[in-house]
Copies of this chain bind each other. A is one copy, B any other.
Amino acid sequence: MTYCLAINLEAGIVFASDFRTNAGVDQVSTYSKMHGFCVPQRRVLLLLTAGNLATTQAVVNSVRRDIGDPAATTSLNTVEYMFDAARYIGKISRQVQARHTDQNNESGPSLEATFILGGQLRNQPQEIYLIYPEGNYITASPAKPYLQIGETKYGKPILDRMVSPGTSLEDAARCALVSLDSTSRSNVSVGPPFELSLYDKDQLELNRHLVLTEDSPFYISLRDKWVEAVKHGFEELPRFSWEDGSDTLV
Which A residues form the contact surface with B (CB < 8 A)? Answer: 153-158, 160-162, 170-171, 173-175, 178, 182-183, 185-186, 208, 210, 212, 216-218, 221-222, 225-234, 236-240, 242-243, 248-250
Contacts and interface: CB of A to CB of B under 8 A. Distances in A.
Given A186-B156, A222-B237, A250 B210 contact: yes
Given A233-B226, A234-B175, A242 B208 contact: yes
8 contacts: A153-B154, A155-B157, A170-B243, A216-B250, A218-B249, A222-B238, A225-B238, A230-B233
A125 B102 CA distance: 57
Nearest to A212: B250
Nearest to A239: B170
Contacts of A212: 250
A161 B230 contact: yes
Given A210-B250, A250-B210, A225 B236 contact: yes
